[in-house]
Structure 1
Amino acid sequence: MTYRVVALDLDGTILNSNKQVSENSKRVLQYLSKPEFKNSDGEEVLVLLASGRAPYLVSPVEEALGIDCYLIGYNGGICFGRKSEGRNTVFSHSIDNSNLKAIFKYVEEHNLFLNIYGDGIVYGIDKLELAEKPRRYSIMTGATYKFIPSYSTLPDDFTPAKCLIILDDDKECDQLLETMRPLFPTLSLVKSNCMNKDYKQYYVEFLEHGVNKGTSVIDFCKAKSIDSSKVVSFGDAENDNEMLEQSGLGICLANGTDVTKSIANQVSQFTNDQDGVARELVKLFNLPENLIQ
């Protein structure tokens, strides 16, 4: 198969454990993105960064790679075009107000910390007993918070692309996800995680019904008139599962979760700290081996 789109998760995939892009990854993706490079069908290769992060937290990874990318944020909630195209909105989905109020009610009753994403800001309730959760999230992702005294201070017509509950335990996350799914049948609930050498967090994410990285890849391909079989995607965790399934080839890195490895078409022998993405792309596109140093 000749691939036209390279879809990349960020944390645990194209980013190493220090939340950085390696020099090998830069060289390989810059080579693929050169105007003169074409796949075996003579087509330009498009790079799509697909993350649960807010778009403004995805763009620094694009800058670190040194290439012009399409950006998917909020696990499929929104997609922006490349800088060279004016960073236009390719598509967007948001949580309606009635669902949003139900989420607020649940987290208040169970004293859970909720991230609410809108207008380039992460909103959160200012609660001293939960303050460590957003502090660690900010350290790991670079997110900037605007703390509010209550959810009622948000505008009545506020419709964020995504919300998420921050948890510190994997099993607690699984249990909460199982409990909440039947309570929110008109929303898409997704498990994700983020970790560095110091911290680990697990998340229950709320998205508009049917929205995930997989549907976002399909929407992107429709917008660009590309067959989804020409997408190769890379991921490591549960929020990547649909993307790996919907792509022509879905590759899970060696550091990925067991669940994600089980649904991937292929499991790399390399982790994100061993330049797994770069090494697999060199093989797939028959690139010069000296790009990996």
Structure 2
Amino acid sequence: MASTVDLPEHCIVCYTATTKLCSACRAVRLCSERCQRILWPTHKVLCGRSVDTFYLPPLTADEIRSLDDVKSRPGLVPGLRGQSLVSLVKGGYPGPLADFLWTTFWQRLTAPANDDPYEENERLENVALAYEFLGHAADRELFAGNPPARRSPWQLFAKSCMAFHTEYCEAVAKMSGNTPEAAAFDKATQIGSFTVLNALFRQQLVHATITCQSYNRPSLVGQEEALELVQAGRTRAVKLLEASDLPEFVKQRLVAHAQVGLSRGAWAQSVAALDKLAT
């Protein structure tokens, strides 16, 4: 997919036309100090890193403790047939292999980025899965004894990230035979799904950051404005997918998934507008 810097000259947060770049990395367009502050919780992690690959930070010690508290809870994440994190990672394999898979998974959660593309993709998948479980646990207020002061945008991002990742994996799994699409997929798998979907994931991370900034306190962006920005970002994500060089079958499935999110976003905006009128 095209990288973030290949997009038209618009601020990545508010989509205002601008030629200004992040003064540190010169890779992201930000039109104002306010937009820089809104994006900073996640951009400070990506700033200076290559825009051609995606990155997720290792879990903090507090996040590891929280994940340890909920790792065996079944049914935490919708769509996983009631599996807990432990059962999902172990995959029903016999003792020694299951233990190895779990140990490797747990080690990757605190590991730094790996220079090997395959290992780094595995690390990213594991970290994203962990953040997804943490996000759903936070939604259910399972950390009542020690609630985090601020919701993490990485947790919110992981929900949409893993949904797109699942769509991608299921789509490419259906491709077979000696066709141009299958050949394109074979090439893509050599660099990993997170690199293939890098631009989309970076856009999704902006959505998550804006959303968190709207309900964390102190708030840098109002909820109504946040909805508008996220909705515009979802439209941008669809355009990113449509302009990508993904195999057509895979692209169509991802675009369809993104369009569902776009429709839900429009519905959320309508609800917010009605709530405002009611008050």
Shared fold (TM-score, shorter chain, > 0.5): no
Higher helix share: 2
Higher strand share: 1
TM-score by length of 2: 0.32
TM-score by length of 1: 0.31
